[in-house]
Chains A and B, each alone.
Chain A
């Protein structure tokens, strides 16, 4: 493979990994009947936690776990509002995004005002940097370990949702919560657990962005990537395998945007920078009109 193609494919995978985790988090929650609009906030909180903990402990795996826990905690808060009260899921999602944006910026400001250099160790950037020049193997050695974890998570999520009994129960709560309740399922408890797991995945997405793509944090680091993951889930019709492909497609668009600019075709740079979003729009237009879980977004009221 030419070095251009290798570089392009590596950039595609690198850009896609945070989206894959976030898309799985969104997909899981919506399959259980809760819209996860707060993904952007969960990613941001996960990214800041990951970078700060990695700097403090110099251990990226502790940082990844901490980011995952942070996302889970936000998932629990989200479940309080959307499952127990239950408030409008879109409004709660927007509120979570706004709150996390403000809080992460505030905490970030405090950390750097105290003289803390937020440069995390770079050990999650590639799994075996020493092998990067070996033909073929070097390509896979240059992937982040989180990329492999993301692929495993996609497969496990697919098997869980479509090949297991608990997965069927989860989907039934998203299709018709009342029917699931009548069949003996505790929908409230199920959605709480699912939101916790979904938040954890979104937190992992943030950790991937903060530790595997870059190794630092800045205000609003995610820059709308959570919403791109949301679009990927809708495009993929709530199927983990297709969502994986959709995230790769967006990653390829972003990787291509800068390469097209570097090739010097002579267009305004904004045409290239629009590329990933235009590709997403075209993909949704071509494959769209998928039907989501019927009860997603509807508050569940017992009785």
Chain B
């Protein structure tokens, strides 16, 4: 048996190894995606933008972050911006990270997540020479001239989700599963309920909250319960835990409408379609306004022209698919009018 007599040097060596490992991992945790110089606009100063995600690995995470990542790729690959991305930044540390970007000369600083709205409201006043942009839902802009927001109309988006679900269900029961009942999600689900009722007044809608965005077993359990109630079409707006929704839906022969990005590759047997949000278009508008010097303190609304359904790939009959597509087109043209109702009862206090 090894008997360690001189422990000091062993502890020192171990600590050094741990520190080296930590540095290596830390180097991988935060990424700076630098554009190919060949694609950078000739003559124009390269834009250095900073942004932070609350989760790790946004391109493979869940929900909104995936759509945002498409926007990031647009800024990087099409416009040649240099983007510094911090991943896994907890909400309480968002303000510090955003301030750090501003101090290092990153401009604009982008908030991709509605959960970062407190930081978005507190930091801009401290750095008047830097633009701060929210690319998600926010109720109001901060009291500073250097802040703007691109906000999707989640109610209208919810209408589209509701139409798809209500037209595709065979049991007449649809489910809405959310991670956490944040205001944007309550609005989205309200829109989905009204959208579903507008095309199928007898449809039964079940709303469930998981309580977090990431707990896979809990997402699976919530979905199992909905399937047991006879729900056969589910819309899930959550984070990395969405994988649990797919598992349970596939086992229970239910179909899932993916949120924001196309989820088909993740669960080809469970996906009905995905209700897409054109994040690249949002980022393009923001980048143009920033580069042209026309960016103003304003909430830029992103309406129905930012939304569309991903291909159904045979998940419903051609007849149902056409019916869905036509109804969505009527919603977009204004021919189908859906009243604005906020269902506060889905998030009781």
- Specify which chain A residues have a CB less than 8 angstroms from the CB of B161 in the assembled complex: none
- Contacting pair A262 B243 (CB below 8 A): no
- Contacting pair A269 B211 (CB below 8 A): yes
Per-residue contact bits, chain A 74-90, to B (CB 8 Å; 1 contact, 0 not): 00000000001101000
- Specify which chain B residues have a CB less than 8 angstroms from the CB of A15 in the assembled complex: 217, 221
- Specify which chain A residues have a CB less than 8 angstroms from the CB of B266 in the assembled complex: 117
- Specify which chain A residues have a CB less than 8 angstroms from the CB of B216 in the assembled complex: 214, 216-218, 221
- Contacting pair B217 A258 (CB below 8 A): no
Answer yes or no: B167 CB below 8 A from chain A CBs. no
- Contacting pair A102 B25 (CB below 8 A): yes
Smallest CB separation, A205 vs chain B (Å): 13
Nearest B residue to A214, CB-CB: B216
Answer yes or no: B91 CB below 8 A from chain A CBs. no
- Specify which chain A residues have a CB less than 8 angstroms from the CB of B244 in the assembled complex: 214, 216
Nearest B residue to A267, CB-CB: B348
- Specify which chain A residues have a CB less than 8 angstroms from the CB of B224 in the assembled complex: 7, 11
Answer yes or no: B104 CB below 8 A from chain A CBs. no
Q: A84-B2, A84-B4 are in contact. Are A262 and B215 (CB under 8 A)?
A: no
Answer yes or no: A189 CB below 8 A from chain B CBs. yes
Q: Which of B4, B55, B211, B349 has the most CB of A within 10 A?
A: B211
Q: Which of A105-113, A150-158, A171-179 contacts B (4 or more CB under 8 A)?
A: A105-113
- Contacting pair A105 B217 (CB below 8 A): no
Taken together as a complex, chains A and B put the C-alpha atoms of A209 and B25 apart, in Å, by 25
Nearest A residue to B206, CB-CB: A262
A216's contact among B2, B7, B247, by CB below 8 Å, is which? B247
- Contacting pair B217 A213 (CB below 8 A): yes
Smallest CB separation, B296 vs chain A (Å): 38
Nearest A residue to B1, CB-CB: A189
- Contacting pair B2 A106 (CB below 8 A): no
- Contacting pair A218 B211 (CB below 8 A): no
Q: Which of B4, B266, B347, B348 has the most CB of A within 10 A?
A: B348
Answer yes or no: A1 CB below 8 A from chain B CBs. no
Smallest CB separation, B304 vs chain A (Å): 30
Which residues 103-151 of A sit at the B interface, judged by CB distance below 8 A? 103, 105-106, 108-109, 112-113, 117, 122
Q: A223-B214, A266-B348 are in contact. Are A258 and B221 (CB under 8 A)?
A: yes
- Specify which chain B residues have a CB less than 8 angstroms from the CB of A113 in the assembled complex: 57, 60
- Contacting pair A268 B4 (CB below 8 A): no
- Specify which chain A residues have a CB less than 8 angstroms from the CB of B229 in the assembled complex: 262
- Contacting pair B60 A112 (CB below 8 A): yes
Per-residue contact bits, chain A 172-192, to B (CB 8 Å; 1 contact, 0 not): 000000000000000011000
- Specify which chain B residues have a CB less than 8 angstroms from the CB of A217 in the assembled complex: 216
- Specify which chain A residues have a CB less than 8 angstroms from the CB of B57 in the assembled complex: 108-109, 112-113, 219
Taken together as a complex, chains A and B put the C-alpha atoms of A189 and B247 apart, in Å, by 44
A214's contact among B18, B60, B217, B349, by CB below 8 Å, is which? B217
Nearest B residue to A257, CB-CB: B211
- Specify which chain A residues have a CB less than 8 angstroms from the CB of B212 in the assembled complex: 223
Answer yes or no: B222 CB below 8 A from chain A CBs. yes
Taken together as a complex, chains A and B put the C-alpha atoms of A189 and B31 apart, in Å, by 45
Which residues 200-230 of A sit at the B interface, judged by CB distance below 8 A? 209, 213-221, 223
Q: How many residues of A contact B (CB 8 A)?
A: 43
Nearest B residue to A221, CB-CB: B216
- Contacting pair B222 A258 (CB below 8 A): yes
- Contacting pair B240 A258 (CB below 8 A): no
Which residues 39-93 of A sit at the B interface, judged by CB distance below 8 A? 84-85, 87
Smallest CB separation, B22 vs chain A (Å): 8
Answer yes or no: B225 CB below 8 A from chain A CBs. yes
Answer yes or no: A259 CB below 8 A from chain B CBs. yes
- Contacting pair B240 A255 (CB below 8 A): no
B215's contact among A84, A102, A112, A223, by CB below 8 Å, is which? A223
Answer yes or no: B45 CB below 8 A from chain A CBs. no
- Contacting pair B28 A106 (CB below 8 A): yes
Q: Which of B7, B18, B225 has the most CB of A within 10 A?
A: B225
Nearest A residue to B266, CB-CB: A117
Nearest A residue to B226, CB-CB: A262
- Specify which chain B residues have a CB less than 8 angstroms from the CB of A213 in the assembled complex: 217, 220
Answer yes or no: B145 CB below 8 A from chain A CBs. no
- Contacting pair B7 A219 (CB below 8 A): no
A109's contact among B56, B181, B208, by CB below 8 Å, is which? B56
- Specify which chain A residues have a CB less than 8 angstroms from the CB of B208 in the assembled complex: 258, 261-262
Answer yes or no: A273 CB below 8 A from chain B CBs. yes
Smallest CB separation, A93 vs chain B (Å): 15
- Contacting pair A269 B209 (CB below 8 A): yes
- Specify which chain A residues have a CB less than 8 angstroms from the CB of B218 in the assembled complex: 223, 254, 258
A218's contact among B28, B209, B222, B241, by CB below 8 Å, is which? B241
B220's contact among A102, A103, A214, A261, by CB below 8 Å, is which? A214
Answer yes or no: B11 CB below 8 A from chain A CBs. yes
Q: A219-B56, A262-B229 are in contact. Are A268 and B221 (CB under 8 A)?
A: no
- Specify which chain B residues have a CB less than 8 angstroms from the CB of A262 in the assembled complex: 206, 208, 225-226, 229
Listed in ascending order, the chain B residues whose CB lies under 8 Å from chain A are: 1-2, 4, 7, 10-11, 18, 22, 25, 28-29, 55-57, 60, 88, 181, 206, 208-209, 211-212, 214-218, 220-222, 224-226, 228-229, 240-241, 243-244, 247, 251, 266, 345, 347-349
17 contacts between A and B (CB under 8 A): A11-B221, A15-B217, A85-B7, A109-B56, A188-B1, A213-B217, A214-B220, A214-B243, A214-B247, A219-B214, A258-B208, A259-B225, A262-B226, A262-B229, A266-B345, A269-B209, A270-B211
Please give me the 7 A-B residue pairs with the lowest Cβ-Cβ distance, nearest first. Answer: A269-B209, A273-B211, A218-B240, A213-B217, A223-B215, A214-B216, A262-B225
Further contacts, 19 of them, CB under 8 A, given A11-B221, A216-B244: A7-B224, A7-B228, A15-B221, A84-B4, A85-B10, A99-B18, A113-B57, A214-B247, A218-B214, A218-B216, A219-B56, A223-B212, A223-B214, A223-B218, A254-B221, A258-B218, A262-B206, A266-B348, A269-B211
